[in-house]
Chains A and B, each alone.
Chain A
Amino acid sequence: GAGVSQSPSNKVTEKGKDVELRCDPISGHTALYWYRQSLGQGLEFLIYFQGNSAPDKSGLPSDRFSAERTGGSVSTLTIQRTQQEDSAVYLCASSLGGQGTYNSPLHFGNGTRLTVT
């Protein structure tokens, strides 16, 4: 596709349920990022994937959060036992990666708005 695609666009879930958020990056982009944007807050880094390297998970807020990237393309962010404080917009971005691309801009999807009731 032309841009980063995220699904679903909106998700309402009950506290304690698990949710999966999907990201389909721009074709050819080897780097993929997840960010979280809470109401009135800036973007908070969650996790970064580059090719086949081990992901940088330093931003994941708790062990209830995990992410995987299959085949170097599509990524899924999973939140287990959701809590109300998990309510936010989850944004995925992709960019060129590897040597010589260190300032390649991030291209964002439109996010998944998660509401935990």
Chain B
Amino acid sequence: EDQVTQSPEALRLQEGESSSLNCSYTVSGLRGLFWYRQDPGKGPEFLFTLYSAGEEKEKERLKATLTKKESFLHITAPKPEDSATYLCAVRHIKAAGNKLTFGGGTRVLVKP
């Protein structure tokens, strides 16, 4: 059974204090790892897709990396507007359509 575990559950940062979020997964055949951002009262918003170990994607202060067992979301010099819950999800090679299995998320709070 596919499992996705995110850590830490919550992260409090000072503005400008860089940090990393972890997403570890056990999937027998990975066909994509996805990162989403979710603001309170909103649906998840797509950030990145990573396909293979060694791949990296960047968007503003966010950088996602992938190994064979885990992915990291690095937040560089965060700002208060980066406060959100960050969700990681995987797609199994045999999953129907683009069905995703999600982790529990990491709640990030960036204080000014």
Contact = CB atoms under 8 A, between A and B. Distances in A.
A104 B98 contact: yes
Given A103-B32, A103-B51, A45 B46 contact: no
A111 B41 CA distance: 8
A12 interface: no
Given A43-B102, A103-B98, A110 B41 contact: yes
B40 to A, nearest CB: 11
Contact of A107 (B31, B46, B102): B46
A2 B42 CA distance: 15
Given A105-B46, A108-B43, A110-B43, A45 B99 contact: yes
Interface in B41-72: 41-46, 49, 51
A77 interface: no
Interface residues of B, number: 26
Contacts of A104: 98
Interface string A13-54: 000000000000000000101010000111111001010000
A103 B48 CA distance: 11
A43 B98 contact: no
B91 A103 contact: yes
Given A106-B46, A110-B41, A50 B97 contact: yes
Given A42-B104, A103-B91, A108 B97 contact: no
B97 A111 contact: no
B93 to A, nearest CB: 9
Interface of A: 4, 31, 33, 35, 40-45, 48, 50, 56, 91, 93, 95, 97, 101-111
Given A4-B43, A105-B34, 20 more contacts: A31-B97, A33-B98, A33-B99, A40-B104, A41-B104, A43-B44, A45-B101, A50-B97, A91-B43, A102-B31, A102-B32, A103-B49, A103-B91, A104-B98, A105-B46, A105-B49, A106-B46, A106-B98, A110-B41, A111-B42
